């Protein structure tokens, strides 16, 4: 074969036989999906229905998914949860407006708001309920991420109640939480009162990368949903991806307890980590988010040790390593993970993180900041200018500055402590 560097890289990675604690949820396990999906890579044919004009097999598959999740409507996405997030925001605010947003929003939400001309009103995740209950500003929707990347959950029932009180929808980026409908207790945000959720099914289920569901709980948003999804989507959605969504639904229908052994494994690993002085900060009972700073290791340092021992984590940053566990991880995978936790060198905890600076003043609308000409400048020269991009140190995974906000001296000082050297400004 002529040179095919990406294909070769994938094969070489496969040869390493790492224990996969990262997305996609199927872990490339031979029992997760049928192996004939390549031979089923068809397109819109009279027999196969059409995603955005669904009236046959796709509509039927979507209805079965809605019934499993108890949604008023479930829509397939072959463009990831990003497409579902774009559609949620479009449906909630068709004529523009202000979205009260938890500050840890994924960049896909920030980009979608810029594209749709929506203005975020930012609040810290732990303060959003207070702002919702007390802000006198006009707000058209509330948007939160729960669980976050580390598996931490917000109080969705309380947020849903506050949103009801204000007559605005609660939109939840549930990218990391599709499986929460199948944990004990059921923690899926749709079941806790959210109006819509964007579920990145491929992250935690036996779904091909790119497969996601938009779950609608409030019937008001059903009629416009397909059109909102098609606004940002490719006109060539992958049938293997959509078929994998259908198969994952069928699997969960047949095996609603599939995540019970995963919860047990995670609980066991959490205890093993605690015995080694490390806290699991995840509220999601299927996720292990180890705060390795507890024993003096950055997440990146710990991740390197995990890799050397044949364990591939999902994510590592300055203080944490995150492991995604699904029914397609093997007992051997878990054994390797547990063994490596015990090998981590334990020292003094890393110093506590400095407090995030206050939210900076908004100078121009998000959309204008994103679409205006901008240039990268050395960080120190950014003071007093308007940011054209977000700057997000991890942890805590919360941007210090967002597009359209003034870059304050405090923000620059904080960011330089995290090794930022430059920033794009207007
Ligand atoms: C919190 C969060 N939201 C949204 C997304 C986007 O999801 P997708 O990659 O399925 O488009 C991600 C992806 O990592 C994410 O972590």
Q: Which architecture, in CATH terms, is 38-254?
A: 3-Layer(aba) Sandwich (3.40)
Q: Please name the residues in contact with 290: beta carbons below 8 A apart, sequence gap of 6 or more.
A: 273, 278, 279, 280, 299, 302, 320, 321, 322, 323, 341
Which residue among 80, 205, 287 is best mutated to probe the pocket of ligand 1, counting the most ligand atoms within 8 A of its Cβ? 80
Average pLDDT of span 50-69: 97
- Going by CA atoms, what residue is nearest to atom 9 of ligand 1? 80
- Going by CA atoms, what residue is nearest to atom 7 of ligand 1? 81
Q: What was the pLDDT predicted at 402?
A: 98
- Give distance in angstroms: CA of 199 to centre of ligand 1: 9
Question: Does the beta carbon of 62 sit less than 6 angstroms from any atom of ligand 1?
Answer: no
Average pLDDT of span 417-426: 95
Question: Does the beta carbon of 81 sit less than 6 angstroms from any atom of ligand 1?
Answer: yes
Which atom from ligand 1 is nearest to the alpha carbon of 200? 10
pLDDT above 90 (res 170): yes
Which atom from ligand 1 is nearest to the alpha carbon of 79? 11
Which atom from ligand 1 is nearest to the alpha carbon of 84? 11
What's the first-to-final CA gap in the chain, in angstroms? 47
Question: Does the beta carbon of 200 sit less than 6 angstroms from any atom of ligand 1?
Answer: yes
- Return the SS3 of 42: coil
- Going by CA atoms, what residue is nearest to atom 12 of ligand 1? 175
Which atom from ligand 1 is nearest to the alpha carbon of 210? 10
Structure pTM? 0.97
Fold of 259-343: 3.90.1150
pLDDT above 80 (res 1): no
- Give distance in angstroms: CA of 81 to centre of ligand 1: 6
Q: Rounded to 5 degrees, what angle do the CA atoms 65, 67, 284 make?
A: 70
CATH, range 366-425: 3.90.100.10
pLDDT above 80 (res 258): yes
Q: What was the pLDDT predicted at 396?
A: 87
Q: Please name the residues in contact with 314: beta carbons below 8 A apart, sequence gap of 6 or more.
A: 21, 22, 23, 322, 323, 324
Residue 7, classified by CB atoms within 10 Å of its CB into exposed (0-12), middle (13-18) or buried (19+), is: exposed
Instruction: Band the pLDDT of 353: cuts 50, 70, 90.
Output: confident
- Give distance in angstroms: CA of 210 to centre of ligand 1: 10
Question: Does the beta carbon of 208 sit less than 6 angstroms from any atom of ligand 1?
Answer: no
Instruction: Band the pLDDT of 395: cuts 50, 70, 90.
Output: confident
- Give distance in angstroms: CA of 47 to centre of ligand 1: 32
Backbone angles phi, psi at 21, to 5 degrees: -110, 40
C-alpha 264/C-alpha 261 separation (Å) is 5
- Give distance in angstroms: CA of 66 to centre of ligand 1: 21
Question: Does the beta carbon of 80 sit less than 6 angstroms from any atom of ligand 1?
Answer: yes
Average pLDDT of span 385-409: 95
Report which of 208, 217, 211 is spatially closest to residue 181, judged by C-alpha positions: 217
Instruction: Band the pLDDT of 354: cuts 50, 70, 90.
Output: confident
Question: Does the beta carbon of 104 sit less than 6 angstroms from any atom of ligand 1?
Answer: no
Question: Does the beta carbon of 108 sit less than 6 angstroms from any atom of ligand 1?
Answer: yes
Average pLDDT of span 6-30: 97
pLDDT tens sequence across 291-349: 999 999 999 999 999 999 999 999 999 999 999 999 999 999 999 999 999 999 999 99
Question: Does the beta carbon of 106 sit less than 6 angstroms from any atom of ligand 1?
Answer: yes
Question: Does the beta carbon of 212 sit less than 6 angstroms from any atom of ligand 1?
Answer: yes
Instruction: Band the pLDDT of 66: cuts 50, 70, 90.
Output: very high
Question: Does the beta carbon of 201 sit less than 6 angstroms from any atom of ligand 1?
Answer: no
pLDDT above 90 (res 369): yes
pLDDT above 80 (res 98): yes
C-alpha 344/C-alpha 305 separation (Å) is 7
Question: Does the beta carbon of 197 sit less than 6 angstroms from any atom of ligand 1?
Answer: no
Same-fold call for 38-254 versus 259-343: no
Question: Does the beta carbon of 284 sit less than 6 angstroms from any atom of ligand 1?
Answer: no
Question: Does the beta carbon of 82 sit less than 6 angstroms from any atom of ligand 1?
Answer: yes
Mean pLDDT over each residue of the chain, to the nearest integer? 97
Domain boundaries defined on the chain = 38-254, 259-343, 366-425
Instruction: Band the pLDDT of 355: cuts 50, 70, 90.
Output: confident
């Amino acid at each position: 074969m002529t040179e095919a560097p990406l294909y070769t890289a994938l094969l070489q990675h496969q040869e390493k036989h790492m224990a996969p604690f990262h997305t996609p949820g199927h872990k490339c396990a031979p029992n997760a999906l049928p192996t004939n999906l390549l031979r089923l890579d068809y397109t819109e044919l009279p027999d196969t229905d059409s995603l955005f004009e669904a009236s046959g097999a796709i509509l039927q598959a979507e209805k079965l998914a809605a019934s499993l999740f108890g949604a008023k409507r479930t829509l397939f996405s072959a463009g990831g949860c990003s497409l579902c997030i774009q559609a949620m925001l479009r449906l909630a605010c068709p004529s523009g407006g202000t979205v009260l947003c938890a500050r840890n929003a994924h960049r896909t939400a920030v980009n979608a708001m810029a594209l749709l001309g929506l203005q975020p009103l930012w609040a810290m995740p732990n303060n959003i309920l207070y702002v919702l209950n007390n802000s006198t500003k006009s707000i058209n929707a509330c948007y939160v991420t729960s669980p976050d990347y580390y598996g931490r959950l917000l109080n969705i029932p309380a947020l849903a109640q506050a949103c009801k009180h204000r007559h605005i929808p609660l939109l939840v980026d549930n990218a990391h939480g599709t499986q929460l409908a199948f944990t004990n207790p059921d923690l899926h945000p749709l079941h806790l009162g959210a109006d819509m959720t964007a579920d990145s099914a491929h992250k935690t289920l036996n779904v091909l990368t790119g497969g996601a569901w938009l779950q609608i709980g409030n019937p008001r948003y059903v009629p416009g949903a397909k059109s909102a999804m098609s606004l940002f989507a490719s006109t060539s959605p992958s049938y293997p991806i959509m078929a994998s969504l259908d198969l994952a639904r069928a699997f969960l229908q047949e095996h609603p307890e599939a995540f019970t052994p995963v919860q047990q494994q995670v609980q066991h690993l959490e205890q093993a980590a605690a015995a080694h002085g490390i806290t699991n900060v995840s509220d999601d009972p299927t996720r292990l988010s180890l705060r390795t700073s507890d024993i003096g290791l950055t997440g990146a340092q710990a991740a390197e040790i995990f890799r050397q021992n044949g364990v591939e984590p999902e994510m590592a940053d300055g203080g944490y390593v995150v492991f995604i566990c699904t029914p397609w991880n093997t007992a051997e995978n878990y054994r390797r993970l547990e063994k490596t936790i015990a090998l981590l060198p334990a020292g003094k905890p890393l110093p506590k993180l400095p407090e995030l600076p206050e939210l900076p003043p908004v100078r121009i609308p998000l959309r204008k900041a994103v679409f205006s000409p901008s240039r990268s400048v050395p960080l120190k020269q950014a003071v007093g200018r308007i940011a054209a991009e977000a700057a997000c140190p991890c942890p805590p995974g919360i941007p210090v500055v967002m597009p359209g906000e003034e870059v304050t001296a405090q923000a620059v000082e904080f960011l330089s402590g995290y090794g930022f050297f430059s920033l794009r400004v207007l």
